[in-house]
Amino acid sequence: MIRREARRIVTSPLAWFCVVIYAAVLLMGIAETLKVKEAISDHGWLDLLCVSEEYGITTLVKNLVFPMSVASVYFDEKKGKCDWVKMMRTSRLRYCVTKAIAVFVGSIFLYMMSVFLFIAVGSMMHPEILKTANNSYFLVGEMWQKWIQDGTYWGVFFLYVVLNSLQVAAWSSMLGLCVAAFSENRYVVAAVPFFINRIFLYLGDMIDWLSIVSPYSYQPIQFWYTGTQVDLFWLAFKNLAVMFLFTCIFIEEMKWRASHG
């Protein structure tokens, strides 16, 4: 059942439209950088991804496109009332858990496809960047540099993308699923996670003890200059914990809908 739900998400036309949009925004984020010849010769795709995601408009767009990309399938169910049919065939708990896992996994896949499309198109435009894929001027922590110097540059790139995808899936797509339980408006589903992420980010920056709710605390960017393997493990664990929290909220929402119609 999880496989079927995940397949519905990753084969949705809207989902792939969002993939293309996010890849295009990533490319726009480094358009000015690539105009400088030295930037092309000095930076590989890992650094360019960091530049585009953390210093451009991409950081805003991320929380808009991915909730909408995965929630569209749930909208189709609500319109056809088939979500209630599925719950009657199995159980509400199993349905909600299956839906949450499918959304989480589907969002990770779509995010990674966006990044790979970004690299593929960018490499066709500037193939010389691939020749500089042997170092990073952003991930300068001892752990990262040791891995890169050991010849695992693309392994580090993949790990960084996976860690980022966990944060996107937990804080954008899962939050969007919770909103979709009560709203069939795609713009609302996209806007609410966006504003909640921004509010939590500002609260975490202003009040120290609220830093745990800041999305920044769930991104690998905080370990650019430091970090250990244990830190990365806890980073992944925290995002999975957020996914579990939003799954519980989604279950309670569906219980409320069942009792209130």
* DSSP string across 16-50: HHHHHHHHHHHHHHTTTGGGSHHHHHH--HHHHHH
> What's the length of the chain?
261
Q: What angle do CA 99, 103, 105 make, to 5 degrees?
A: 115
Say what the pLDDT of residue 127 is: 80
- Cα gap 167→247, rounded to integer Å: 15
Tokens 């944060």 identify what position?
167
Which helix (DSSP H) or strand (DSSP E) does residue 245 occupy?
A: helix 229-260
- Cα gap 228→144, rounded to integer Å: 9
Say what the pLDDT of residue 236 is: 93
Q: Are 107 and 172 in contact (CB under 8 A)?
A: yes
Q: SS3 breakdown of the chain: % helix, strand, coil, rounded to 5?
A: 85, 0, 15
Distance spanning both ends of the chain, measured CA to CA: 25
Instruction: Split the chain (261 residues) into runs of 10 and give each run's mean pLDDT.
Output: 73 85 88 65 79 78 81 63 58 83 89 93 83 77 86 89 92 86 78 84 74 79 84 92 92 80 57
* DSSP string across 104-143: HHHHHHHHHHHHHHHHHHHHHH-GGGGGGTT--SS--SHH
Over its C-alpha atoms, the chain yields an Rg (Å, rounded) of 19
Say what the pLDDT of residue 180 is: 82
- Cα gap 51→30, rounded to integer Å: 7
Other beta carbons less than 10 A from residue 167's beta carbon: 23
Q: Are 65 and 173 in contact (CB under 8 A)?
A: no
Structure-block tokens of residue 145: 């540099």
- pTM value is 0.88
- Cα gap 184→91, rounded to integer Å: 23
